[in-house]
Amino acid sequence: MDSKAYARLYPHDAYAATLERGARDDGRPLGRARACSLACGVVSAANVRGSCVAKRGHTTAAAAVRCVVATPDARAPGRGFVDVDVTFATQCGETQRPGRGCAGRDSARETAREALASASAVDAERLCIERGVAVWRVRVDVVILDDDGCAGDCALLAAIGALRDCVLPRARVERGKVVLEDDIEGEDPSTSTAMAVDEDGAHIPALVVNNTPVSLTTALYKGHLIVDPTREEEALSRCLVSVCLTEDGMIRGVFKRGGEVEATEDILMKCIAAAKHNYSATKQVIEESMADDTDADE
């Protein structure tokens, strides 16, 4: 019998045989994550202030940042808003075909949303145009183009790339109305309340990404921990744990998406260790992508 046909008919038996060999179908050992890549500034639409396409293995996500002026919350008059949404393209995977539901949609959305919030990735006070009058509402829309497992991890990667690519327009309030850069003729940028000044007196973008949260998902299958599982491995696993970290080594979130078994303390510690081991390589990819984007602009 053909190996692919056997795997479809007896998926658990086929996967158990794979684990005995110590390497997965794509050649990775159980503890290795797939390579990731980012491309920033890929969308040139007028209302898009930042964009990014991220890949982890075959899983692909595209993110775009749009910004609108909003009224601040009375309880936080000097803080703006950051909204994150994650959707799945219709044909991004077998489970996303019409009529078959969309498994993982909510978990991917929550992973990206909660990770950005818990890490305080965006400085909300830098989104203030005028305290108590107007702030920026930053919306990050992520679309999963190809779901081959760990869609939430890839969505977060795309969201971070798009936010770091984002530059807000200068703005100020005149007679109760917000005037954007395009409406200001001959205006000195230093008078804009939506711009900040660094230690050297240089003007910097209003959107500041303080931390870089990175998420890594680990699956549990019959006593084996599978780092960065593919879609097929996710379907076979009995437990999925996603760990979000930032560059300071802080754990910003641990997410468990249901599952048949409990994630014990020992399992959680191993998942955290895997996330820490993976963080520096992923952070380097993010930094290199931003450097490449800067070089291209110059």
The residue among 193 and 281 whose pLDDT is bigger is: 281
Q: Name which of 3-12, 76-85, 93-102, 184-193 the model is least confident about.
A: 184-193
What is the maximum alpha-carbon separation in the chain?
77
* pLDDT tens for each residue of 64-102: 999 999 999 999 999 999 999 999 998 776 554 443 434
How far is the CA of 68 from the CAs of 88, 168, 206, 260, 294, in angstroms? 24, 10, 14, 43, 25
pLDDT tens per residue, range 134-157 = 999 999 999 999 999 999 999 999
Beta strand ranges found along the chain (DSSP E):
36-40, 50-56, 59-70, 81-88, 128-130, 134-146, 171-174, 177-180, 196-197, 203-204, 214-221, 224-227, 239-245, 251-256
As a whole number, the mean pLDDT across the chain is 82
pTM of the complete model:
0.84
Residue 263 is predicted with a pLDDT of 82
Q: Where are the alpha helices (DSSP H) in 121-260?
A: 151-165, 231-236
pLDDT of the residue at 281 = 94
Categorize the per-residue pLDDT at 160 as very low, low, confident or very high, splitting at 50, 70 and 90.
Answer: very high
Domain layout of the chain by residue ranges = 30-168+205-297
What phi and psi, each to the nearest 5 degrees, are found at residue 237?
-70, 160
* Per-residue burial over 132-164, b = 16 or more CB atoms within 10 Å of its CB, e = otherwise: ebbbbbbbbbbbbbbbbbbbbbbbbbbbbbbbb
Please determine, looking at this structure, whether the domain spanning 30-168+205-297 carries the CATH number 3.40.50.720. no
- Chain length of the chain: 298
With a cut of 70, say whether residue 122 has pLDDT above it. Answer: yes
What pLDDT is stored for residue 72 in this prediction?
93
Q: Are 115 and 50 in contact (CB under 8 A)?
A: no
pLDDT band for 262, please (50, 70, 90 cuts). confident
